[in-house]
Protein backbone atom coordinates (compact mmCIF):
# COMPACT_ATOMS: atom_id res chain seq x y z
CA UNK A 1 0.00 0.00 0.00
CA UNK A 2 1.24 3.48 -0.86
CA UNK A 3 2.35 5.44 2.17
CA UNK A 4 1.12 9.01 2.46
CA UNK A 5 2.14 12.11 4.36
CA UNK A 6 -0.61 14.26 5.83
CA UNK A 7 -0.27 18.02 6.11
CA UNK A 8 -2.91 20.08 7.90
CA UNK A 9 -3.20 23.87 7.50
CA UNK A 10 -5.70 25.73 9.63
CA UNK A 11 -7.05 29.24 9.68
CA UNK A 12 -9.82 31.26 11.27
CA UNK A 13 -12.35 30.19 8.65
CA UNK A 14 -10.59 27.36 6.83
CA UNK A 15 -9.25 23.93 7.59
CA UNK A 16 -7.28 22.54 4.64
CA UNK A 17 -6.12 18.93 4.44
CA UNK A 18 -3.58 18.06 1.76
CA UNK A 19 -2.71 14.42 1.13
CA UNK A 20 0.65 13.95 -0.57
CA UNK A 21 1.66 10.50 -1.79
CA UNK A 22 5.12 9.55 -0.59
CA UNK A 23 5.44 6.99 -3.41
CA UNK A 24 3.38 8.37 -6.31
CA UNK A 25 2.39 6.15 -9.24
CA UNK A 26 4.84 6.40 -12.14
CA UNK A 27 3.97 8.87 -14.86
CA UNK A 28 2.70 7.55 -18.20
CA UNK A 29 6.01 8.22 -19.93
CA UNK A 30 8.02 6.57 -17.17
CA UNK A 31 9.44 3.13 -18.12
CA UNK A 32 8.43 1.96 -14.65
CA UNK A 33 4.76 2.27 -15.64
CA UNK A 34 5.19 -0.19 -18.51
CA UNK A 35 7.33 -2.50 -16.38
CA UNK A 36 4.63 -2.62 -13.71
CA UNK A 37 1.96 -3.63 -16.24
CA UNK A 38 4.25 -6.22 -17.81
CA UNK A 39 4.97 -7.72 -14.40
CA UNK A 40 1.25 -8.30 -13.78
CA UNK A 41 0.81 -9.69 -17.30
CA UNK A 42 3.67 -12.13 -16.75
CA UNK A 43 2.40 -13.20 -13.35
CA UNK A 44 -1.31 -13.39 -14.09
CA UNK A 45 -1.99 -13.60 -17.81
CA UNK A 46 0.77 -15.47 -19.59
CA UNK A 47 0.56 -18.70 -17.63
CA UNK A 48 -2.21 -21.25 -17.25
CA UNK A 49 -5.11 -18.80 -17.33
CA UNK A 50 -7.01 -20.09 -20.36
CA UNK A 51 -9.93 -20.83 -18.04
CA UNK A 52 -10.28 -17.05 -17.94
CA UNK A 53 -10.44 -16.99 -21.75
CA UNK A 54 -7.61 -14.49 -21.95
CA UNK A 55 -6.32 -13.31 -25.29
CA UNK A 56 -3.05 -14.99 -26.31
CA UNK A 57 0.09 -12.82 -26.10
CA UNK A 58 0.29 -12.13 -29.85
CA UNK A 59 -3.29 -10.86 -29.86
CA UNK A 60 -2.56 -8.79 -26.77
CA UNK A 61 0.43 -7.16 -28.43
CA UNK A 62 -1.77 -6.28 -31.40
CA UNK A 63 -4.25 -4.58 -29.07
CA UNK A 64 -1.45 -2.61 -27.47
CA UNK A 65 0.01 -1.49 -30.81
CA UNK A 66 -3.33 -0.50 -32.32
CA UNK A 67 -4.48 1.42 -29.23
CA UNK A 68 -1.30 3.47 -29.50
CA UNK A 69 -1.27 3.72 -33.29
CA UNK A 70 -4.84 5.03 -33.43
CA UNK A 71 -3.98 7.49 -30.65
CA UNK A 72 -6.91 6.30 -28.60
CA UNK A 73 -8.18 8.61 -25.87
CA UNK A 74 -11.39 6.76 -24.94
CA UNK A 75 -11.29 2.98 -25.24
CA UNK A 76 -14.10 0.51 -24.57
CA UNK A 77 -13.86 -3.21 -23.93
CA UNK A 78 -16.73 -5.70 -23.83
CA UNK A 79 -15.63 -8.77 -21.89
CA UNK A 80 -13.12 -7.90 -19.16
CA UNK A 81 -12.48 -11.40 -17.80
CA UNK A 82 -9.69 -10.98 -15.22
CA UNK A 83 -8.32 -7.88 -16.91
CA UNK A 84 -5.54 -9.26 -19.11
CA UNK A 85 -6.73 -7.85 -22.44
CA UNK A 86 -7.41 -4.57 -20.62
CA UNK A 87 -3.80 -4.53 -19.44
CA UNK A 88 -2.57 -4.94 -23.02
CA UNK A 89 -4.80 -2.05 -24.07
CA UNK A 90 -3.56 -0.03 -21.10
CA UNK A 91 0.01 -0.46 -22.36
CA UNK A 92 -1.05 1.30 -25.55
CA UNK A 93 -2.95 3.95 -23.63
CA UNK A 94 0.22 4.86 -21.75
CA UNK A 95 1.41 6.30 -25.06
CA UNK A 96 -1.75 8.36 -25.57
CA UNK A 97 -2.85 9.28 -22.06
CA UNK A 98 -6.17 7.60 -22.79
CA UNK A 99 -8.65 5.82 -20.54
CA UNK A 100 -10.52 2.52 -20.74
CA UNK A 101 -14.07 1.51 -19.83
CA UNK A 102 -14.43 -2.27 -19.60
CA UNK A 103 -17.62 -4.31 -19.12
CA UNK A 104 -17.96 -7.71 -17.42
CA UNK A 105 -21.00 -9.68 -16.25
CA UNK A 106 -19.23 -12.09 -13.85
CA UNK A 107 -18.70 -10.52 -10.39
CA UNK A 108 -15.83 -12.90 -9.58
CA UNK A 109 -13.95 -11.84 -12.69
CA UNK A 110 -14.72 -8.19 -11.99
CA UNK A 111 -13.02 -8.56 -8.60
CA UNK A 112 -9.99 -10.23 -10.16
CA UNK A 113 -9.74 -7.58 -12.87
CA UNK A 114 -9.88 -4.72 -10.40
CA UNK A 115 -7.17 -6.39 -8.35
CA UNK A 116 -4.96 -6.78 -11.43
CA UNK A 117 -5.54 -3.20 -12.60
CA UNK A 118 -4.66 -1.98 -9.12
CA UNK A 119 -1.48 -4.08 -9.01
CA UNK A 120 -0.49 -2.84 -12.47
CA UNK A 121 -0.88 0.80 -11.44
CA UNK A 122 -3.55 1.59 -14.04
CA UNK A 123 -6.66 1.66 -11.85
CA UNK A 124 -6.85 5.43 -12.26
CA UNK A 125 -7.31 5.10 -16.03
CA UNK A 126 -9.57 2.00 -16.11
CA UNK A 127 -13.25 1.93 -15.15
CA UNK A 128 -14.70 -1.55 -14.64
CA UNK A 129 -18.49 -1.84 -14.91
CA UNK A 130 -20.24 -5.00 -13.75
CA UNK A 131 -23.38 -6.16 -15.53
CA UNK A 132 -24.78 -7.48 -18.79
CA UNK A 133 -23.13 -5.46 -21.56
CA UNK A 134 -26.40 -5.28 -23.48
CA UNK A 135 -27.75 -3.24 -20.57
CA UNK A 136 -24.66 -1.32 -19.45
CA UNK A 137 -23.78 -0.22 -22.98
CA UNK A 138 -27.01 1.74 -23.17
CA UNK A 139 -25.95 3.88 -20.22
CA UNK A 140 -22.55 4.83 -21.63
CA UNK A 141 -21.98 8.09 -23.42
CA UNK A 142 -19.60 8.23 -26.34
CA UNK A 143 -17.70 8.85 -28.33
CA UNK A 144 -15.22 5.97 -28.10
CA UNK A 145 -12.35 5.75 -30.55
CA UNK A 146 -11.17 2.19 -29.79
CA UNK A 147 -13.45 -0.77 -29.03
CA UNK A 148 -12.53 -4.39 -28.32
CA UNK A 149 -15.23 -7.08 -28.27
CA UNK A 150 -14.47 -10.43 -26.65
CA UNK A 151 -17.63 -11.64 -24.95
CA UNK A 152 -20.70 -13.72 -25.82
CA UNK A 153 -20.20 -14.52 -29.51
CA UNK A 154 -23.93 -14.84 -30.15
CA UNK A 155 -24.38 -11.19 -29.14
CA UNK A 156 -21.66 -9.56 -31.26
CA UNK A 157 -24.28 -8.23 -33.69
CA UNK A 158 -26.30 -6.62 -30.90
CA UNK A 159 -23.14 -5.18 -29.35
CA UNK A 160 -22.36 -3.62 -32.73
CA UNK A 161 -25.78 -1.97 -32.91
CA UNK A 162 -25.28 -0.42 -29.48
CA UNK A 163 -21.66 0.59 -30.11
CA UNK A 164 -22.11 2.16 -33.54
CA UNK A 165 -23.81 5.41 -32.37
CA UNK A 166 -21.02 5.85 -29.81
CA UNK A 167 -18.11 5.15 -32.20
CA UNK A 168 -16.19 8.25 -33.25
CA UNK A 169 -15.44 8.83 -36.94
CA UNK A 170 -11.94 7.48 -37.42
CA UNK A 171 -12.51 5.03 -34.57
CA UNK A 172 -12.01 1.27 -34.71
CA UNK A 173 -13.78 -1.86 -33.48
CA UNK A 174 -11.73 -5.01 -32.93
CA UNK A 175 -13.57 -8.32 -32.56
CA UNK A 176 -11.94 -11.47 -31.16
CA UNK A 177 -12.39 -15.12 -32.22
CA UNK A 178 -13.40 -14.28 -35.78
CA UNK A 179 -11.38 -17.23 -37.13
CA UNK A 180 -11.84 -20.06 -34.65
CA UNK A 181 -15.52 -19.19 -34.08
CA UNK A 182 -16.30 -17.84 -37.53
CA UNK A 183 -19.48 -19.93 -37.82
CA UNK A 184 -20.92 -18.18 -34.74
CA UNK A 185 -20.12 -14.71 -36.06
CA UNK A 186 -21.78 -14.83 -39.47
CA UNK A 187 -24.57 -12.59 -38.23
CA UNK A 188 -22.04 -10.09 -36.90
CA UNK A 189 -20.28 -9.78 -40.26
CA UNK A 190 -23.63 -9.54 -42.02
CA UNK A 191 -24.62 -6.62 -39.81
CA UNK A 192 -21.29 -4.88 -40.40
CA UNK A 193 -22.20 -4.62 -44.08
CA UNK A 194 -25.32 -2.62 -43.21
CA UNK A 195 -23.22 0.38 -42.18
CA UNK A 196 -21.83 2.10 -45.30
CA UNK A 197 -19.16 4.00 -43.35
CA UNK A 198 -17.61 0.88 -41.79
CA UNK A 199 -14.71 -0.92 -43.45
CA UNK A 200 -13.64 -4.31 -42.09
CA UNK A 201 -10.51 -6.41 -42.57
CA UNK A 202 -9.14 -9.45 -40.77
CA UNK A 203 -6.19 -7.98 -38.90
CA UNK A 204 -4.98 -11.34 -37.58
CA UNK A 205 -5.92 -14.44 -39.56
CA UNK A 206 -4.16 -17.06 -37.42
CA UNK A 207 -5.09 -18.43 -34.02
CA UNK A 208 -8.33 -17.04 -32.62
CA UNK A 209 -8.39 -14.28 -35.22
CA UNK A 210 -9.14 -10.57 -34.84
CA UNK A 211 -11.13 -8.38 -37.21
CA UNK A 212 -10.60 -4.64 -37.44
CA UNK A 213 -13.46 -2.35 -38.43
CA UNK A 214 -12.69 1.28 -39.21
CA UNK A 215 -15.31 4.03 -39.26
CA UNK A 216 -14.67 6.37 -42.15
CA UNK A 217 -14.18 10.00 -41.23
CA UNK A 218 -16.01 11.04 -44.41
CA UNK A 219 -19.02 8.80 -45.14
CA UNK A 220 -19.48 8.10 -48.82
CA UNK A 221 -15.79 7.80 -49.64
CA UNK A 222 -14.56 4.64 -51.36
CA UNK A 223 -14.66 1.61 -49.11
pLDDT tens digit sequence for 117-134? 999 999 999 999 999 999
Q: Alpha carbon of 9 to those of 3, 4, 19: distances in Å?
A: 20, 16, 11
Residue 195 lies in a domain: yes
User: Does the pLDDT value for residue 99 go beyond 70?
Assistant: yes
CATH number, domain containing residue 119:
3.40.50.150
pLDDT for res 28: 53
Whether omega before 143 lies within 30 degrees of 0, making that bond cis, reads: yes
pLDDT for res 47: 60
Which residue would you say has higher pLDDT here, 216 or 6? 216
Return the SS3 of 141.
coil
Angle at 177 between CA 171 and CA 178, to 5 degrees: 70
Task: Specify the length of the chain in residues.
Answer: 223
DSSP state of 27: P
Return the SS3 of 189.
helix
Residue 10 lies in a domain: no
Which residue would you say has higher pLDDT here, 192 or 52? 192
Give me the mean pLDDT over the 163-187 stretch.
95
How confident is residue 220, by pLDDT bands cut at 50, 70 and 90? low
| pLDDT digit string, tens, across residues 65-75 | 999 999 999 99
Torsions phi, psi for 172 (to 5 deg): -130, 150
Q: Mean pLDDT of all residues in the chain? A: 85
Residue 62 lies in a domain: yes
Residue 185 lies in a domain: yes
| pLDDT digit string, tens, across residues 10-65 | 333 333 322 233 344 455 557 899 999 999 999 888 764 445 678 888 999 999 99
pLDDT for res 90: 97
User: Does the pLDDT value for residue 161 go beyond 80?
Assistant: yes
Task: Give the domain extent around 59.
Answer: 32-215
Residue 3 lies in a domain: no
User: Does the pLDDT value for residue 163 go beyond 90?
Assistant: yes
Residue 198 lies in a domain: yes
Residue 20 lies in a domain: no
- Give the chain's domain count: 1
Give me the mean pLDDT over the 159-164 stretch.
98
Which residue would you say has higher pLDDT here, 202 or 24? 202
What percentage of the chain reaches a pLDDT higher than 90?
A: 71
Q: How many H-runs (helices) and E-runs (strands) does the chain carry?
A: 7, 9
Residue 100 lies in a domain: yes
pLDDT for res 1: 40
Give me the mean pLDDT over the 133-140 stretch.
96
Amino acid sequence: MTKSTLFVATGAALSLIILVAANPAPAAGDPRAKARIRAVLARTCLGSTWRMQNVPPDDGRLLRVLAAAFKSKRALEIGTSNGCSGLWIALGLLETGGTLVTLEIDPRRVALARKNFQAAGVFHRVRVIQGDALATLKGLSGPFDFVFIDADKSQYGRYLELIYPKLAPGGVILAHNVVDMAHELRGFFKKLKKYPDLVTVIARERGSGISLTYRLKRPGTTR
